[in-house]
């Protein structure tokens, strides 16, 4: 079994949109998959939405404590990205404008490629498209 955590717009869950922000998204949807099938879904509110500093690190620590092995999100900042990497969590960024369900399906079908670098810090809103396709763009 593999646990995927997806940054999600309210109310969270498979039918919500993927939130463009990682560290300051509203909810995390936890999706457990096994043999290419979704076996379990739960929603957890993000605790880092309003912290003044270090949201990326805190959010990374939080999803790690939820047992995440994979994170799917829109844009991701440098601190969040390096934290997730250090925690051994694979990051698929640059996913936007689609539902959590579609994002998971894309992941399962192998059409997402892992990110090799962060996007802009603290600029998640409205960003994220076209990022994380292995081009390693930093700014």
Is position 69 an interface residue for another protein (rule: CB under 8 A)? no
| Cα–Cα distance list, 8 to 2, 18, 29, 86, 96 (Å) | 18, 5, 6, 23, 10
Name which of 27 and 81 has its Cβ closer to another protein.
81
Q: What are the Cα distances from residue 21, in Å, to 2, 38, 96, 100, 110?
A: 23, 24, 10, 14, 23
- Closer to another protein at the Cβ: 26 or 58? 58
User: Judged by CB under 8 A, which of 9, 44, 49, 54 binds another protein?
Assistant: 54
Nearer to another protein, 55 or 93 (CB): 55
Q: Are 77 and 59 in contact (CB under 8 A)?
A: no
Pairing mode of beta strands 37-45, 27-34: antiparallel
The helix (run of H) or strand (run of E) holding residue 55 is: helix 55-65
User: Residue 80 Cβ, how far from another protein at the closest point, in Å?
Assistant: 10
User: Considering the rule CB under 8 A, would residue 71 count as an interface residue with another protein?
Assistant: no
Q: Which of 4, 17, 31, 57 is the binder for another protein (CB under 8 A)?
A: 57
Task: List interacting residues with another protein (CB under 8 A).
Answer: 48, 51, 53-55, 57-58, 60-61, 64, 79, 83, 86-88
């Amino acid at each position: 079994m593999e646990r995927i955590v997806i940054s999600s717009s309210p109310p969270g869950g498979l039918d919500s949109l993927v939130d463009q922000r990682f560290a300051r998204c509203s909810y995390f949807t936890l999706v457990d998959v096994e043999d290419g099938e979704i076996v379990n879904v739960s929603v957890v509110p993000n605790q880092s939405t309003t912290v003044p500093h270090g949201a990326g690190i805190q959010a990374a620590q939080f999803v790690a404590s939820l047992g995440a092995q994979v994170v799917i999100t829109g844009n991701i900042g440098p601190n969040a990205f390096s934290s997730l990497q250090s925690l051994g969590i694979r990051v698929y960024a640059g996913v936007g404008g689609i539902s959590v369900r579609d994002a998971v399906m894309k992941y399962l079908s192998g059409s997402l490629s892992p990110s090799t670098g962060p996007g802009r810090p603290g600029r998640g809103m409205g960003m994220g498209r076209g990022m994380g396709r292995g081009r390693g763009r930093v700014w």
